[in-house]
A and B are shown apart, each in its own frame.
Chain A
Amino acid sequence: IWGSHICRVRGLSSSSSPRVCIVGGGPAGFYTAQQLLKNAAVDIYERLPVPFGLVRFGVAPDHPEVKNVINTFTQTAQHERCSFHGNVNVGKDVTIDELRQAYHAVVLSYGAEGNRSMGIPGEDLPGVFSAKDFVGWYNGLPSNKELHPDLSFETAVILGQGNVALDVARILLAPVEMLKETDITQNALEALAGSKVRRVLIVGRRGPLQIACTIKELREMVNLPNTRADMLPADFEGIAEALKDLPRPRKRLTELMMKAVKEGGDDKAEKCCGFRFFRSPVEVLAGADGKRATGIRLALNKLEGSGESARAEVTGQLEDVDCGLIISSIGYKSIPIDPAVPFDPRRAIVPNEMGRVQDTAGLYCSGWVKRGPTGVIATTMNDSFDTAHVLIQDMEAGKLDLSVNKPGAQAITALLQTRGVRTVLFSQWEKINAEEEKRGKSQGKAREKLLDVDEMLKIAWS
Chain B
Amino acid sequence: MSACALRVFVQRAAVMRKAAHQTFSQTRAFPQCVTGSYTHSRGINTLTNSLRAEEKVTVHFLNRDGKRITVKALTGESLLDVVVNNDLDIDGFGACEGTLACSTCHLIFEEGVYKKLGAVSDEEMDMLDLAYGLTDTSRLGCQVCLRKDLDGMILRVPDVISDARVDSEKESSTAPPKV
B162 CB contact (under 8 Å) in A211, A249, A382: A382
Q: In the bound complex, how far is the Cα of B179 from the Cα of A164, in angstroms?
A: 7
Contacts A72-B19, A373-B179, A378-B104 given; 13 further ones with Cβ under 8 A? A66-B102, A75-B21, A78-B21, A162-B178, A212-B176, A212-B177, A216-B123, A246-B174, A355-B163, A376-B102, A376-B178, A378-B95, A383-B162
Looking at the complex, which of B42-50, B74-82, B111-119, B125-133 is the stretch in contact with chain A? B125-133
- Between A and B, 21 residue pairs with Cβ closer than 8 Å are A64-B26, A65-B27, A66-B101, A71-B19, A71-B97, A72-B95, A162-B178, A246-B174, A247-B172, A248-B129, A249-B175, A252-B125, A252-B126, A252-B129, A374-B178, A375-B177, A375-B178, A377-B95, A378-B160, A381-B92, A383-B163
Q: B69 near A: Cβ within 8 Å?
A: no
User: Across the interface, do A214 and B173 meet the contact criterion of CB distance under 8 Å?
Assistant: no
Contact of A64 among B27, B122, B126, B169 (CB under 8 A): B27
A: which residues have CB within 8 A of B? 31, 35, 63-69, 71-72, 74-75, 78, 162-164, 210-216, 219, 246-250, 252-253, 307-308, 332, 354-355, 371-379, 381-383, 385-386
| Cβ A65 vs Cβ B99 within 8 A | yes
Interfacial chain B residues near A375, Cβ < 8 Å? 177-179
Closest to B101 in A: A65
B100 at the A interface (CB under 8 A): yes
Q: Which residues of A sit under 8 angstroms from B164, Cβ to Cβ?
A: 354, 386
Closest Cβ–Cβ distance, residue A109 to chain B (whole Å)? 15
The answer to whether B91 and A67 have CB atoms under 8 Å apart is no
CB-CB under 8 A from A247, the residues of chain B are: 172-174
Complex CA–CA separation, A72 to B28 (angstroms): 16
Measured between beta carbons, the chain B residues less than 8 angstroms from A69 are: 95-96
**Minimum CB–CB distance for B160 against chain A, Å:** 5
Min Cβ gap B16→A in Å is 11
Which applies to chain B's interface (DSSP): helix, strand, loop or mixed?
loop
* Interface size class, chain B: 35 or more
Assembled-state Cα–Cα distance A439/B133 (Å)? 44
A253 vs B126: C-alpha distance in the bound complex, in angstroms? 9
- Once the chains bind, are A214 and B130 in contact (CB under 8 Å)? yes
Task: Tell whether, in the assembled complex, residue A68 and residue B174 are in contact, meaning their CB atoms are under 8 Å apart.
Answer: no
B96, B97, B179 — which one has the most chain A CB atoms within 10 A of its CB?
B179
**Known contacts A65-B100, A249-B129; A379 and B161 CB within 8 A of each other:** yes
Rounded to whole Å, the gap between the CB of A397 and the closest CB of chain B is: 16
Q: 6 closest Cβ contacts across the A-B interface?
A: A374-B177, A65-B99, A249-B129, A65-B101, A247-B174, A71-B22
Contact B174 A65 (CB under 8 A): no
Cβ contact within 8 Å between B25 and A64: yes
Query: A249: shortest Cβ distance to chain B, in Å?
Result: 4
Task: Check if A65 sits within 8 Å of B173, measured CB to CB.
Answer: no
B96 close to A210 (CB less than 8 A): no
Q: In the complex, what residue of chain B is closest to A382 when comparing beta carbons? A: B160
Q: Using A78-B21, A162-B179, A376-B178 as known contacts, say yes or no to A219 and B126 having CB atoms under 8 A apart.
A: yes
CB distance from B84 to the nearest CB of A (A): 12
**Bound CA–CA A31/B101 (angstroms):** 17
Interface residues, chain B, with chain A CB atoms under 8 Å away? 19-29, 91-92, 95-97, 99-104, 122-123, 125-127, 129-130, 134, 160-164, 169, 172-179
Indicate whether A382 sits within 8 Å of B178 (C-beta atoms), given known contacts A63-B101, A68-B96, A71-B21: no
Inter-chain contacts of B177 with A (CB < 8 A)? 162, 212, 372, 374-375
Tell me which residues across on chain A come within 8 A of B160, comparing CB atoms: 378, 382
Q: Which single residue of chain B is at the shortest CB-CB distance from A62?
A: B27
Contact A163 B162, beta carbon cutoff 8 Å: no
Q: Are B122 and A219 in contact (CB under 8 A)?
A: yes
B103, closest chain A residue (CB): A378
Report if A65-B130 is in contact (Cβ < 8 Å); known contacts: A71-B22, A308-B173.
Answer: no
Q: Chain A nearest CB: distance from B159 CB in Å?
A: 10
Residues of chain A with a CB closer than 8 A to B21's CB: 71, 74-75, 78
Among candidates B123, B163, B179, residue contacting A374 with C-beta atoms closer than 8 Å:
B179
Query: Could you tell me the distance between the alpha carbons of A242 and B21 in the complex, rounded to whole angstroms?
Result: 49
Q: In the bound complex, what is the Cα–Cα distance between A205 and B73 (angstroms)?
A: 51
Least CB distance from B46 to A in Å reads: 24
On whether the beta carbons of B25 and A68 are closer than 8 Å, the reply is yes
Q: A246 vs B173: C-alpha distance in the bound complex, in angstroms?
A: 9
Closest to B26 in A: A64
Interface contact A378-B92, CB-CB below 8 Å: yes
CA distance A63 to B127 in the complex (A): 14
In the bound complex, residues from chain B placing their C-beta under 8 Å from that of A246 are 174
Q: Are B129 and A68 in contact (CB under 8 A)?
A: no
Check A66–B96 contact: CB distance below 8 A.
yes
The reply to whether A249 and B130 contact each other, CB–CB distance below 8 Å, is yes
Q: Which residues of A contact B92 (CB under 8 A)?
A: 31, 378, 381-382, 385
Expressed in whole angstroms, the minimum distance between the Cβ of B63 and any Cβ of chain A is: 15
Chain B residues positioned under 8 Å from A382 (CB to CB): 92, 160-162
Check if A381 sits within 8 Å of B104, measured CB to CB: yes
Distance to closest chain B CB from A211 (angstroms): 8
User: How many angstroms from the CA of A246 to the CA of B129 in the assembled complex?
Assistant: 13
Residue of A nearest to B122 (CB): A219
Taking the closest CB of chain B, its distance from the CB of A57, in whole angstroms, is 13
Q: Residue B99 contacts which of A68, A212, A379 (CB distance < 8 angstroms)?
A: A68
Residue of A nearest to B106 (CB): A378
Kindly provide the distance from the CB of A437 to the nearest chain B CB, expressed in whole angstroms. Answer: 10
Shortest beta-carbon distance from A256 to chain B in Å: 9
**B130 pairs with A376, CB closer than 8 A:** yes
List the A side residues contacting B174 at CB < 8 Å.
246-250
Chain A residues whose C-beta falls within 8 Å of the C-beta of B129 in the assembled complex:
214-215, 248-249, 252-253
Q: How far is the CB of B122 from chain A (nearest CB, A)?
A: 7
**In the complex, which residues of chain B have a beta carbon less than 8 angstroms from the beta carbon of A72?**
19, 95
- What's the Cα separation between A68 and B86 when bound, in Å? 20
* Residues in B whose Cβ lies below 8 Å from that of A64: 25-27
- Chain A residue numbers with a CB within 8 Å of B101 are 63, 65-66, 68
